[in-house]
Chain A
Amino acid sequence: MSSRRPPRGEYIETDTGNKVARKATLVGTQNIMLGGKTVIQPEAMIRGDLIRTIQAQPQSASGAAPNNTAVSIGRYCFLSRGCCLRPPGRLYKGAFTFMPLRMGDHVFVGAGSVVQAASVGSHVHIGARVSIGEFAIIKEYVRILDGTVVPPNMVIPSFSIVAGQPARLIGEVPEGGHEAFELRDLYKTVGNNPQPMPI
């Protein structure tokens, strides 16, 4: 698929190295923070419009504008075709509010997966057709296999491999498996000038 060169740039490449497909759907872009070198494939969707409406503490004396970031994404993340990131929402003190979704570096989100976590740590691999329930917390170095349903509020500690509906721990990431989470090489293989995967 990547060998085919689209006539016009399929991706918009930003100054910080983000590669955002023209056919990706980013709603509320002003509330989406990209750390740089992140790939957003076609048909991926990010709901930046679902911002937090209740601040946990009233804004401190600084008087700064309330932080409206709805989705923040680190560096070298890879959002595959058809995935969807959206902030989780819940009732807080009797009123409904969305809360921000934070994502670390080197996070891979597989095709068609829906992520509504509160936070996703760095070096996390989320397979295809995965549902991450609202307010789940996923720590670093976690592998979520294809088709997993992570229930809302679940905490997945580091070095877990989870699968199933609902997700359960099925193994631990071995010591030698840390490097496999790196997405620098994958980053180069997409975009308007894709390179072959280095060996």
Chain B
Amino acid sequence: MAALTPYTYIQCPCSDFSTLGRSSDPNLPAGTEADDDDDRTFDPRAPRANYTLYPLEYLLYCEDCHQIRCPRCIAEEIVTYYCPNCLFEVPSSNLKSEGNRCTRSCFQCPVCIGPLTVTSVETKPDPSLLAAPDNAATPHAGPYALICSYCAWSSAEVGIQFEKPNGIHAQLAKLRNGGSTRLTAKERKERRKDPSFRPQPATEGQGTPNEAEDLDLETQFANLKAFHQGQLANPNSADTGLSALGDLGFSSPTSLSRIMSIYTGGSLQDKKAKSRVGAMREALDANEGLQLAKLDESAAIEALRSEGHGSTASAAQLADQPPNLGEEHLHGRGRFTSELRPIPYLLRTKRSKRCPVCRHIISKPEAKVQTTRFRIRLVAGSYIPSIAIRPLSLSGGTGTGTGTSASGPAVPGALLEPLRPAHYLLTFKNPIFETIKVTLGAPAKTPGRLASKVTVLCPEFEIDANTDVWDEALNQGGGSERDKRRRRGEDGAAAAGGGGGAGSQSNINHQNQLEVGKIWERGRNWVSIVVEVVPASLRLEEGDPPLAEDEDVLEIPMFVRVEWEGEAGGDEVGSVATRDREAREKRELAYWCVLGLGRIRP
């Protein structure tokens, strides 16, 4: 069984319906609404939970709403498009005309997706050269091919070779697999405009649809579009192609314009057409965009017979293929590796992120591709405490064990013994410059049919402010200062209300005693507390459904409430106006999180 390192996931409030409605109300401090949820335990195994839990690093924080924001609820805006291979920025205007792939010479291998490099193919390597290695300068002349340096695929395998080592994208657009040329998109467009030119070259047939081999995707679409627009303009044309369907309304111009308006945003909505009744016919030949499916598979079967299954492309390979503009339809085609084409790299983006509620930007990278700086980066980790989980071994370790039978698994990732108490150390680290008060709430039994018992030994405590890091850095080595700090923190905790963090001396640590209501250890801006769990037994009753995937993972839902006093920001839009503005303002943030401790031994 795969080892499992303990993890903490935090629930984004966006999934909570009770907060969704109200967090948009600027007069309510965030967090208070969560009080209503106290009696409702969050179930980490609920199907919905899959989409709401995130590691802390993935969460952002809106300073105006005072709320956590997750990748699912934020609104993204693209700042820059760039090619992940050549790292060149692509202006968004090019995107419209050229598509979302790199148009330089960046290609991926269609077989293994490794990067392809342009290499000159010496068609006939002269074996005599081997004997004369001094012949240094190898002739760097064409033809060239794209070669994968991982799986050794070569574009020459599918009959594609290039004359020049640069401008591969443009050269490739003119080449078919096998080496025959084809028209570029631009040439095709021009050809379509030319009324004297029949859309399909009359090489093989005389315009019968069966022979319309060369009707590529774009031309077909253009023909179809022209044909249907003609039909819309003139619905009473005499011949009806599929009149039998007329009764169902499939071929009425109204339904067509309705469907077109769905996709085109209403531009084709024809007011006149609505009033008219009449049937349209369907396209009849290639001129009108009709293309018959090719059902003759004998060539494919023959190829399969001679080449075997090794020559077929996998589903993943076909899925990675770019839409092959300018080629004919791939319906039922593209089965063989010989039909695969080099994949131009998909562009990547840099994106800024907005709060979904107040629309403020909460993350904004610098636009330049090569910089990694951010103009704005409000990450949840600098606002809410991080929670680290560590198994606590009471018997071993310090050696002064006082005979506690219970212990957590000594090795991180080891399996939890069912029905045997185990202890975990939760370390909360305060990132903000104020002292925070943390209140934890966890159900006595984990939700779900495998109910493990959970006891948070110290559910209420204070964590000192995250003072200047340099203070500590300067005092490093001087342990006394650190100790003083630590003790001072304990006094503070003892003074804290609710008797929550009643002073735990650090010597408790050495005595290995677990006391309810006491902090295990504290430091400059962190506090460790102990959670005791009694894992459930995985033994199932007769007739129960078998264990679901990961059902043996012990996950504890925990409600965290953080309170602190911040500077009352008068200029803040969403701040609370009712409290003493001149003084300090009480702030509160509450959220569910899930502690994944480990797997239970079956």
Smallest CB separation, A192 vs chain B (Å): 15
Question: A140: nearest residue on chain B (CB-CB)?
Answer: B372
In the assembled complex, how far is the CB of residue A183 from the closest CB belonging to chain B, in whole angstroms?
A: 16
Say yes or no: A176-B380 contact (C-beta < 8 A), given A133-B150, A158-B372: yes
Question: Is A157 a contact of B58 with CB atoms below 8 Å?
Answer: no
Q: Closest CB of chain B to A20's CB: distance in Å?
A: 23
Distance in Å: Cβ of A134 to nearest Cβ of chain B: 8
At the interface with chain A, which of B26-34, B41-49, B107-115? Answer: B107-115
Stretch in contact with the other chain, from A35-43, A45-53, A73-81, A167-175:
A167-175
| Cβ-defined partner of A176 (8 Å) among B57, B151, B388 | B57
Contact between chains at B86 and A155 (CB < 8 Å)? yes
Contact B57 A177 (CB under 8 A): yes
Q: Spot the interface stretch: A6-14, A26-34, A64-72, A146-154.
A: A146-154
Which of the four size classes fits the interface of chain A?
20 to 34
- Nearest CB in chain B to that of A137: its residue: B87
Complex Cα–Cα for A91 and B151 (A): 19
Contact between B56 and A176 (Cβ–Cβ < 8 Å)? yes
Confirm or deny: B348 has a beta carbon within 8 angstroms of a beta carbon on chain A: yes
Question: Quick one: which of A157, A166, A175 contacts B150, CB cutoff 8 A?
Answer: A166
Chain B residues 510 to 541 lying within 8 A of chain A, measured CB to CB, are: 523, 526, 528
Q: CA of A123 to CA of B372 in the docked complex: distance in angstroms?
A: 11
Q: Is there an interface contact between B82 and A157, defined as CB atoms closer than 8 Å? A: yes
Q: Knowing A166-B113, A199-B429, say if A157 contacts B348 (CB, 8 Å).
A: yes
Query: Is B84 positioned at the interface, with any CB of A under 8 Å from its CB?
Result: yes
Residue numbers in B under 8 Å from A123 (CB-CB):
372
Chain B positions within 8 Å of A154 at CB level: 114-115
| A153 close to B374 (CB less than 8 A) | no
Q: Using CB atoms, name the residue of chain A closest to B136.
A: A94
- Contact B381 A179, beta carbon cutoff 8 Å: yes
Assembled-state Cα–Cα distance A139/B370 (Å): 9
The answer to whether B113 and A168 have CB atoms under 8 Å apart is yes
State whether the Cβ of B377 lies closer than 8 Å to any Cβ in chain A: yes
CB nearest to A154 among chain B residues: B115
B435 to chain A, nearest CB (A): 17
Closest chain B CB from A37 CB (angstroms): 14
Does B400 have its Cβ within 8 Å of any Cβ on chain A?
A: no
The answer to whether B87 touches A199 (Cβ under 8 A) is no
Q: A199 — nearest CB in chain B belongs to which residue?
A: B526
Is the pair A199, B150 in contact by a Cβ cutoff of 8 Å? no
Say whether A151 contacts B84, CB under 8 Å: no
Instruction: Report yes or no: B57 in contact with A180, Cβ–Cβ below 8 A.
Output: yes
A159 in contact with B150 (CB, 8 Å): no
B393 within 8 A of partner (CB):
no
Interface residues of chain A: helix, strand, loop or mixed (majority):
loop
Contact flag A155-B57 (CB < 8 Å), given A141-B372, A168-B113 = no
B372 close to A199 (CB less than 8 A):
no
Instruction: Convert B65-94 into 0s and 1s, putting 1 for each residue whose CB lies closer than 8 angstroms to a CB of A.
Output: 000000100000000001011110000000
Q: Is B363 an interface residue (CB 8 A)?
A: yes
CA distance A95 to B148 in the complex (A): 21
The distance from the CB of A70 to the nearest CB of chain B, in whole angstroms, is 22
CB <8 Å contact, A169 and B137: no
Q: Would you call A93 an interface residue if the criterion is a C-beta within 8 Å of the partner chain's C-beta atoms?
A: yes
B59 interface hit (Cβ, 8 Å):
yes
* Total contacts A-B at CB 8 Å: 79
Report the minimal beta-carbon distance from A169 to chain B, rounded to whole angstroms: 7
| B526–A176 touching, CB < 8 Å | no
> With A175-B60, A175-B377 in contact, do A152 and B149 touch (Cβ < 8 Å)?
yes
Residue of B nearest to A172 (CB): B348
Contact B137 A94 (CB under 8 A): yes
- How far, in whole Å, are A102 and B112 apart by their CA atoms in the complex? 28
Docked pose: A154 CA to B114 CA in angstroms: 7
Residues of chain B lying within 8 A (CB to CB) of residue A139:
87, 370, 372
Give the CA-CA distance A141 to B377 in the complex, in Å.
15
CB atoms of B115 and A199 under 8 A apart: no
Contact of B149 among A93, A140, A153, A169 (CB under 8 A): A153
B374 to chain A, nearest CB (A): 7
Q: A94-B137, A133-B150 are in contact. Are A199 and B71 (CB under 8 A)?
A: no
- Assembly CA distance A155 to B345 (angstroms): 11
| CA gap between A180 and B386 in the complex, in Å | 13
Interface membership of chain B positions 371-393, coded 1 if the CB is closer than 8 angstroms to chain A and 0 otherwise: 01010010111000000100000
A95 and B59 contacting across the interface, CB-CB below 8 Å: no
A176 touches B59 (CB 8 A): yes
A169 and B58 contacting across the interface, CB-CB below 8 Å = no
Closest to B525 in A: A199
**Chain B residues within 8 Å of A156, by CB:** 84
Kindly list chain B residues whose C-beta atoms are within 8 Å of the C-beta of A149.
150
- Specify which chain B residues have a CB less than 8 angstroms from the CB of A199 in the assembled complex: 388, 427, 429, 523, 526, 528
Q: How distant is the Cα of A158 from the Cα of B149 in the complex, in angstroms? A: 22
Residues of A within 8 A of B523 (CB): 199
CB pair A166–B112 under 8 Å, yes or no, is yes
What are the residues of chain B within 8 A of A180 when measuring CB–CB?
A: 57
The complex places the Cα of A149 from the Cα of B148 at a distance, in Å, of 14
* A-B residue pairs in contact (CB < 8 Å), sample of 30: A91-B138, A94-B136, A94-B138, A95-B136, A139-B372, A141-B372, A151-B115, A151-B148, A151-B149, A151-B150, A155-B86, A155-B87, A157-B348, A159-B372, A160-B84, A166-B113, A166-B150, A169-B84, A174-B57, A174-B71, A174-B379, A175-B353, A175-B374, A176-B59, A176-B379, A177-B58, A180-B57, A199-B388, A199-B523, A199-B526
Q: Which 10 A-B residue pairs are closest in the complex by CB-CB distance?
A: A151-B150, A176-B379, A176-B57, A177-B57, A151-B114, A152-B149, A94-B136, A174-B58, A166-B114, A94-B138
Q: Beyond the given A139-B370, A157-B82, could you list 8 further A-B residue pairs with CB under 8 A, ordered by the A residue number?
A: A155-B86, A157-B84, A157-B87, A174-B58, A177-B58, A180-B57, A199-B427, A199-B523
